[in-house]
Amino acid sequence: MVLRFKYPDEWSCECGRRHRVPLREVVVEENALLRAAEIIDRLHLGRNCLIVEDHATKIIAGDQVRGALTDAGYSVSEAIIERADMASVERARQQLRGYDFSMAVGGGTPIDVAKLATHRSHVPFVSVPTALSHDGIASPIASIAQNRAKTSLLAHPPIAVIADPQILVKAPNRMIAAGYGDLVSKATSVKDWELGRDEKGEYYCKRAATLAFQAMADVVRATKAPWSKEGARELLEALLNCGASMILAASSRPCSGAEHLFSHFLDAHAERPAMHGEQCGLGTILMAKHHEDHNPNWWKEPEFQWQNIKRILRNIEPELSLREIGIDENVAARALLEAANLRPDRYTILHKRPLTKAEAIFLLEQTSIA
Ligand SMILES: [Zn+2]
Ligand SMILES: [Zn+2]
C-alpha cells in the first residue's frame, strides 16, 4: 500500500473545484521522532513550538519529540489535554500565543484539539500519531464534544505527519481494531455520498471518493498481520489516504455516512460510549446489509458485502459485538431509528430508506452483532 495522492499539490479538478493538499512532509519510519528537528528545519516553521499531548502520549512520544527539538535549540512548551471539547480548544489557543507551530502528539484527543486551536490561531501543526484508531490523523476535520454530542468541525489538515511504526504497533489491540473499524466504514460512506449525488444533486468529487474507497479496499485485501510493523504502516497509509480524501472534499463527506451517524448517536445516548472506530465498524456491518437490501447500486464485489466486512473485523477483534464494547442493544436499535435526524442534510441510506422498529430489531438479529 502507498499514499495514493501527491503532496503538496494544487489543481483544478473535474469536479469543478480547485483542490489544495497543503501537507508537505510524511515521514513514517523507525525512530522518526528523533529526526523531528531536522524535518521541522526543512519546513521553516519558526523556532517556538507548543506540544499538545495527553498524559499517556507525553510518555509514549511527547517527551521524545520535546527532547529532539530542545537539543536542536527550539524553544518548546507543553499543553496537556485530556478532553476534546471547546474548553480544551480555548485553553490550547491561549497557550499558543507567541508560538510558531504546534506538534499534536496523540490518539484522537490531542490531534482534534490542536487541529482546531491552531486553525483558529492561524499557525500550522504537525501530526504525530501514537495510535491508529481513527482517520483524523491527516484530515482537516476536528471531532469536538459540544453538549454531550460530538460535532465534526472543519479546521485545517496538518502541515506534516511524523510517525514511528514501532510506537504504533505497541498501541493496545483495541485501538488497532478501532482503526480498522473506521477504515471499513468507507464501504458504506462512499455509497452514501453517491446516493447524495444521484438523488439530491449533491456536490461530489470522484477523486476524493476513489481515495477513500481505495483506502478501504487496500485494507480489505491486505494480507499483512495487523500487529506487525508492516501492517501498522499499511493501516497508517490507508488512514492518511482517507485524510487526503477529506482534504479534497473539504468535509468529512467521503469518509462519514450512515455508519458514522450510528456512532454519533451512540456517543450521545449510550451510557458509556465505546471507541469511535469500534462503533463505526459495527455500524458499517449494519449499514452494509441495509444498503445491500435497498440500494441497487451497492457494491457487487463479494469482499465488500457485510459478511466479509464482519469477518475482517472479527479477524482482528474476535469478540467484537455490541455487548463486548458495552453498548446496550436497545440503544443501538434506537440509533438505527433516530440517527438520520442528527444530520438531515447528509443524505444516507438511512434517509433514503428509514427503518421501522421491527426492521431495526431484525437487522440486529440478522447480522448477529448484538
Ligand atoms: Zn471516523
Ligand atoms: Zn475534485
* E-state strands within 14-148: 18-21, 25-28, 48-53, 75-80, 101-106, 125-129, 141-146
Give 13 Cα–ligand 2 centroid separation in angstroms. Answer: 5
Equal CATH topology for 31-169 and 173-367? no
Question: Which residue matches cell numbers 490531534?
Answer: 111
Ligand lying closest to the C-alpha of residue 185: 1
Question: Which residue matches cell numbers 499483512?
Answer: 224
DSSP character at residue 107: S
Q: Are 354 and 340 spatial neighbours (Cβ–Cβ below 8 Å)? A: yes
List per-residue pLDDT tens for the chain, 370 residues long: 579 999 999 999 999 999 999 999 999 999 999 999 999 999 999 999 999 999 999 999 999 999 999 999 999 999 999 999 999 999 999 999 999 999 999 989 999 999 999 999 999 999 999 999 999 999 999 999 988 778 899 999 999 999 999 999 998 889 999 999 999 999 999 999 999 999 999 999 999 999 999 999 998 887 667 778 888 899 999 999 999 999 999 999 999 999 999 999 999 999 999 999 999 999 999 999 999 999 999 999 999 999 999 999 999 899 999 999 999 999 999 999 999 999 999 999 999 999 999 999 999 999 999 9
Q: What's the pTM value of the predicted model, to 2 decimals?
A: 0.96
User: pLDDT tens-digit profile of 14-63?
Assistant: 999 999 999 999 999 999 999 999 999 999 999 999 999 999 999 999 99
Give 141 Cα–ligand 2 centroid separation in angstroms. Answer: 18
Ligand lying closest to the C-alpha of residue 181: 1
User: What phi-psi label fits residue 152: left (phi over 0), alpha (psi between -120 and 50 degrees) or beta?
Assistant: beta
Tell me whether strands 149-154 and 141-146 are parallel, antiparallel or unpaired: antiparallel
Ligand lying closest to the C-alpha of residue 112: 1
Ligand lying closest to the C-alpha of residue 21: 2
Ligand lying closest to the C-alpha of residue 209: 2
Q: Residue 163: enclosing H or E segment and its boundaries?
A: strand 160-163
Give 12 Cα–ligand 2 centroid separation in angstroms. Answer: 8
Nine-digit cell at 342? 442528527
Ligand lying closest to the C-alpha of residue 189: 1
Give 252 Cα–ligand 2 centroid separation in angstroms. Answer: 14
User: pLDDT tens-digit profile of 130-170?
Assistant: 999 999 999 999 999 988 778 899 999 999 999 999 999 99
Give 244 Cα–ligand 2 centroid separation in angstroms. Answer: 11
Nine-digit cell at 142? 476536528
CATH class held by domain 31-169: alpha beta
> Could you tell me how many residues make up the chain?
370
Give 262 Cα–ligand 1 centroid separation in angstroms. Answer: 11
Q: Where are the domains of the chain?
A: 31-169, 173-367
Architecture, CATH, for domain 173-367: Up-down Bundle (1.20)
Nine-digit cell at 277? 472506530
